[in-house]
A = this chain, B = another copy of it.
Amino acid sequence: MHNIAIYDTTLRDGSQSEEIHLSTADKIRIACKLDDLGIGYIEGGWPGSNPTDMSFFKEIKNYELKTSKVAAFGSTHLANSSPETDKNLQSLIAARTEVITIFGKTWDIHVQEALRTTLDRNLEIIHNSLAFLRPQVAELFFDAEHFFDGFKANREFAMACLDRAVQAGADSIILCDTNGGTLPHEVGDIVAQVRKAFPHTVLGIHAHNDGELAVANSLQAVQNGVRHIQGTINGYGERCGNANLCSIIPNLEIKMDIPCLPQGCMAKLTNVSHVVSEIANVRSFHRQPFVGKSAFAHKGGVHVSAVQKNPKTYEHIPPALVGNKQRILLSDLAGQSNILFKAKRYGFDLDKNDPFVLELLSELKHRENRGYEFSAAEASFELLLNRVMGRSRDYFKIIAFRVFDTQRSEDDDPFTEATVMVKVGGMVEHTAATGMGPVNALDNALRKALQRFYPNIATMHLVDFKVRVLWDLKNDDGQFAGTASQVRVLIESRDQHTQWVTVGVHYNILEASRQALEDSINYKLFKDDQAKLTRALRDRDQ
């Protein structure tokens, strides 16, 4: 069987999800993650529809993507305009991507009731739009909106729409189940008929999950000859979401033996799912197949003992294939080999019986139980590892801090002041600063206190600050705790060389921020020291 092209639309259709609002910076980070995963195509947005999408296409040109091609999305030209004068088509060209995906109507009631034009005019619009774009772009795709509903309502017209797109030079024709209500056997029948009518065209599928069937519909389409699949990470998308690539990819690769990612990349899937949910600030869904926290978690005593004798007894695949892991609830035995693997990447070749490894493990377990999420905050992990192994030190310690936040009258801006007492080696610095809000004031005071000891911290700054309430950590009485819950703060920082994320957890958001800020600055100082050491050793050896 041929390879399948995976076309990700998390940044476009996925961001239509009710709870998701992505900035340009968010989109860039997600695109880099998708590229690293080895996704074939990344649909970046609809440049004609809003300024955020246009700025993404500008910005992404500064990045050298390894595997992904970037696609811009837009509609066929308006019924009362022509391709040459249509603003939407002009914006698509202005986005200067390798790929353009044009969607057009193929369901007669949509043409008549939503576009309010004739079926013949719609065929013309499809043809003219694609023919106009054809010379402007390396690859041109046609999304046949509502194709399955259209085929059922008026087969002849729906097929004529595809025919015009093919005539106009579309490289692939994507059959869309826009309303998400088509059943797998219908998808199979209809795809097979289209396959027969267009034997030389690459066909694609774009499924929505309104019937909880988007993954099945995508697989069914592949079995009937489709070679291009559109979907999103974690199934994000409007209403019930799009087809979930995190399930489609492993089903194809592991179960159906159809490659879709470069060799070895599928093991990154769980991490990508997780990081995208962090960036989108959407709580991850524990029961999510393949990549969810509970996907390989075993609770029942019978299951646990069977699974320990032979994992195949209650696991449909080895979790490591998708970068996930088995969790034995109540008595968690996992973890150690992971830590050794990670440590190796940071230059420590450790043995599992090393007493320092045991110390590290118990510290990590302790923190993870309290809600620290090291997979999203590798800098905090790297610091901890290096401290335990004696390759780093505490560059400073916050002895005490105080934040004072006040608002006098409704129209006044609030006034915030932080004081901080910091110990650096044998010296103590005590200072104060104001700021825009309590976290910023604390950050300012801390920098002010440290600057004379460590002038290099002037080159670092914060680029992201995320807060999440940890509902999993319930009160002792098992109730959700509202504003009194545990809070996880992730802080992303950057200097002229690199970018790093640190974590803090506490019921008090300021204390959680303090932990993450402290780690962030310590990490910067540690990295600068490491670089100095590397240079010194190199110079000595020359």
Residues of A participating in the B interface, judged by any CB pair closer than 8 Å: 16-19, 21, 23-26, 49-50, 52, 109-110, 113-114, 178-181, 183-185, 209-213, 215-217, 219-220, 223, 235, 237-241, 244, 247, 251, 255-256, 281, 283, 285-290, 292-300, 303, 305-306, 309-310, 312-317, 329, 333, 373, 375-376, 397-410, 414, 416, 435-440, 443, 461-472, 478, 480-485, 487, 506-511, 513-514
Contact = CB atoms under 8 A, between A and B. Distances in A.
B178 A466 contact: no
B399 A109 contact: no
A243 to B, nearest CB: 9
Contacts of A179: 312, 314-316
Contacts of A398: 407, 410
A287 B403 contact: no
Contacts of A237: 287
Contacts of A219: 183-184, 213
A212 B482 contact: no
B407 A437 contact: no
Nearest to A250: B211
B18 A480 contact: no
Contacts of A292: 240
24 contacts: A19-B286, A19-B294, A25-B471, A26-B471, A109-B312, A113-B306, A113-B310, A181-B316, A185-B223, A210-B290, A212-B244, A212-B289, A238-B298, A239-B296, A240-B287, A240-B289, A285-B285, A401-B406, A401-B407, A435-B484, A437-B509, A437-B510, A438-B508, A463-B480
Given A18-B293, A24-B471, A401-B407, 9 more contacts: A113-B309, A211-B215, A212-B247, A213-B219, A238-B294, A402-B405, A435-B484, A437-B509, A440-B484
Contacts of A223: 185
